[in-house]
């Protein structure tokens, strides 16, 4: 199984999305973070249906960096319960996956 992960995280505004993305890349916890603005989320929170505009982070990283990446997001995120979902990358362009390997340099690995 591949060590590569795609982690999804929604943010309430452009500032928090950019700050989290910058930190993850600067700390070597992610090779790349795409920020997708204008995501409309519909969800249940505290017994009520809610709806909000969010920014989706698509984070490319390694399984070995997941725990410190998760902790960094939790520490920075404005939500009480941030969405952090990791999906294994089972296939991908070999050169791109190697680039992820080279750029996730978390010192906790």
- What are the domain boundaries of the chain? 4-103
What are 15-48's pLDDT values in tens digits? 999 999 999 999 999 999 999 999 999 999 999 9
Please provide the average confidence, as pLDDT, over all residues in the chain. 95
> Can you give the pLDDT at residue 51?
97
pTM of the model: 0.94
Q: Is the pLDDT of residue 67 over 60?
A: yes
Report how far residue 70's alpha carbon sits from residue 65's, in angstroms, rounded to the nearest whole number. 9
The class level of CATH for 4-103 reads alpha beta
21-8-78-28 Cα dihedral, nearest 10 degrees: -30
């Amino acid at each position: 199984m591949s060590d590569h992960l795609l982690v999804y995280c929604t943010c309430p505004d452009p500032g928090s999305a950019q700050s989290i993305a910058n930190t993850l890349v600067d700390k070597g916890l992610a090779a790349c973070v795409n920020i997708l603005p204008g995501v409309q989320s519909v969800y249940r929170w505290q017994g009520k249906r809610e709806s909000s505009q969010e920014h989706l982070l698509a984070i490319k990283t390694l399984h070995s960096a997941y725990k410190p990446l998760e902790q960094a997001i939790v520490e920075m995120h404005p939500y009480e319960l941030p969405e952090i979902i990791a999906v294994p990358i089972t296939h991908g362009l070999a050169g791109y996956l190697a680039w992820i390997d080279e750029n996730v340099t978390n010192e906790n690995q």
